A and B are shown apart, each in its own frame.
Chain A
Amino acid sequence: MSLRNRLIFNVKWHRRFGLVCAFFVLLLSVTGLLLNHTGTLKLDRIKLHSPLLSALYNLPSANPVSFPVVDQWVSHDGLDSLFLGQTEIAQCVAPLKGAVTSGGLLQVLCEGELLLFTVKGEFLERITPLLGLPEGSQALALVDQQLLIKTDSRIVHADFDSLAFHPADIQPQAWVSAQAPPAELSAFLASRGPSMDLEQVILDLHSGRLFGSLGVLVMDLVAVMLILLSITGFIAWQTSRKMRKR
């Protein structure tokens, strides 16, 4: 192949590889820059809610649950967040099993943990089975302002001063149960849905994993094309140099 033909061949392919790669180079550069500063930008704290992301990540569907307490509603979005009205007050493990107020405290039972708040929703403390919460706690009830907890096999009353749970010989008329919240709160909880960290989405976009194994394959091809882009560019530059010398 003559030098001129070699130059034309390389420039032609260099241009083709360049055009195909341009979009991906931009994508990789922008996502790479963002990932380099993920801590500063706090990308891991930004939650994305989208049906498309739910489908791409195969996220579990959420079942919001709400309990009325005095003139407010305590709700769980079915994922990890607990709300007083529409204000997120803590994170706890779904499902939400009960919420009551007594003695100036809001007491919330989630799966395997009892959370205490002020009535304004300020988080006080989290009581887990490790700290004495009976295993298999299922429901809450108030009898004479005394908190009762129903477990798999017994009923206990809680003494938060000494952090003790004693067997109770009282049977409440009813255990608090979940109720349908007002339409506005219901719509708010539905809009929460499953979420992904922005950092994880950018990372998966960078690697192509956001689109499964096909995405990874495409990114592999782009990587190969970038290598070829460098090689054709180098050969074209050398060939044109040789031609100029002649």
Chain B
Amino acid sequence: MLTRVTTTLLLLILAPCIWAKGVYLTAEQFLQQNFPNSAPTAKTIWLNDEMKQEIAKFLYRDYRQLRVRYWQQGPRSAWIFDEIGKERPITIGVVLNEQKIESVKILAFRESRGWEVKYDFFTDQFQDASLTAENGLSQHIDGITGATLSVRAVERAAKLALFLSQKAKEK
């Protein structure tokens, strides 16, 4: 009896951690959800040293990639990045409309903690955020206790999408 109760309690405690990890959306599903009528055009933006230096300032790490893929349809664009929360990459999808964030979705979460960032109550805070002159977000994002590193990873991905979208528009 005691074993059963203990097992049930353990399962109840651990279940959110186990279920929280994994792939929630593939890139294809993410694009279909956000561009239901017709598929957006796949594009790439090439990064020069100057852009990489600017990116490194708000990502707090070197950005080694030479080009970034994105999808565009009219004024709307979709971006997918892998950003490390604590140890494992979180795959984050960002949809922009006219240099403002339309939506943020967590496509895959691989960390053992911080999965709360996948919930809409958190990602909805990014709606309408734009990039400031200092490459920050124009609006404050409330953190989540126990998920600080994941929250920062999502913020970095949002800034990166806005930054690259701005550069793509300038080109």
Please give the residue numbers on chain A whose beta carbons come within 8 Å of chain B beta carbons, in ascending order. 90, 118, 122-126, 128-132, 161-163
Contact A124:B107 (CB < 8 A) given known A130-B91, A131-B80: no
Would you give the 0/1 interface string for B74-87, flagging 1 where the beta carbon is closer than 8 Å to chain A?
A: 00000010100000
B69 touching A163, Cβ below 8 Å:
yes
B27 and A125 within 8 A (CB): no
Using Cβ atoms and an 8 Å threshold, which residues of chain B touch A126? 65, 82
Closest chain B residue to A122, Cβ basis: B66
Q: Is the CB of B27 within 8 A of A130?
A: yes
Given contacts A130-B107, A162-B42, A163-B42, A125 and B91 within 8 Å (CB-CB): no
Q: Contact at B66–A124, with CB atoms within 8 Å?
A: yes
Residues on B close to A: CB < 8 A? 23, 26-28, 42, 44, 64-69, 80, 82, 91, 107-108
Kindly provide the distance from the CB of A89 to the nearest chain B CB, expressed in whole angstroms: 9
Residues in chain B near residue A125, CB distance under 8 A: 44, 65-69
Is there an interface contact between A90 and B42, defined as CB atoms closer than 8 Å? no
Question: Please, could you name 15 A-B residue pairs with CB atoms under 8 Å apart, sorted by A?
Answer: A90-B64, A124-B67, A125-B65, A125-B66, A128-B82, A128-B91, A129-B26, A130-B27, A130-B107, A131-B69, A131-B80, A132-B27, A161-B42, A162-B42, A163-B69
In the bound complex, CA of A61 to CA of B50 (Å): 40
> Cβ of A130: which chain B residues have Cβ within 8 Å of it?
23, 26-27, 80, 91, 107-108
A/B pair count, beta carbons within 8 Å: 37
- By DSSP majority rule, is chain B's interface helix, strand, loop, or mixed? strand
Task: Report the separation of the CA atoms of residues A162 and B91 in the bound assembly, to the nearest whole angstrom.
Answer: 20
Considering the complex of A and B, which 3 residue pairs feature the smallest CB-CB distances, nearest first?
Answer: A131-B27, A124-B66, A123-B64
Q: Closest CB of chain B to A223's CB: distance in Å?
A: 29
**New contact pairs (20) apart from A122-B66, A130-B26, A131-B27, CB-CB < 8 Å:** A90-B64, A123-B64, A123-B66, A125-B44, A125-B65, A125-B66, A125-B67, A125-B69, A126-B65, A126-B82, A129-B26, A130-B27, A130-B80, A130-B91, A130-B107, A131-B69, A131-B80, A132-B26, A132-B28, A161-B42
Chain A residues with CB below 8 A from B80, complex form = 130-131
Instruction: Looking at the assembled complex, report how far the CB atom of A166 sits from the nearest CB atom of chain B, in whole angstroms.
Output: 14
Residue of chain A at shortest CB distance from B44: A125
A187–B44 alpha-carbon span in the complex (Å)? 39
- Which residues of the partner chain B approach A129 to less than 8 Å between Cβ atoms? 26
Residues of A within 8 A of B28 (CB): 132
Q: Which chain B positions have C-beta within 8 A of A90? A: 64
Across-interface contacts of B108 in A (CB, < 8 A): 130
C-alpha spacing A102/B67, complex, angstroms? 18
Provide the residues of chain B in CB contact with A163, threshold 8 Å. Answer: 42, 69
Q: Taking CB as reference atom, which chain B residue is nearest A127?
A: B69
Q: Which residue of A lies closest to B43 (CB)?
A: A161
Residue among A123, A126, A128, A129 with max Cβ neighbours from chain B (10 Å): A128
CA distance A129 to B107 in the complex (A): 12
Closest residue on chain A to residue B30 by CB atoms: A130
Identity of the chain A residue whose Cβ is nearest the Cβ of B27 in the assembled complex: A131
User: Chain B residues with Cβ under 8 A from A131's Cβ?
Assistant: 27, 69, 80
Residues of A within 8 Å of B26, CB to CB, are: 129-130, 132
B42: chain A residues within 8 A (beta carbon): 161-163
Query: Taking the nearest CB of chain A, how far is it from the CB of B110, in angstroms?
Result: 11
Q: Are A123 and B91 in contact (CB under 8 A)?
A: no
Across the interface, which residues of A come within 8 angstroms of B68, CB to CB? Answer: 125
Task: Please measure, in the bound complex, the distance between the C-alpha atom of A131 and the C-alpha atom of B80, giving whole angstroms.
Answer: 9
- Across-interface contacts of B107 in A (CB, < 8 A): 130
Contacts of A128 in B (CB 8 A): 82, 91
User: What's the nearest-Cβ distance from chain B to residue A245, in Å?
Assistant: 56
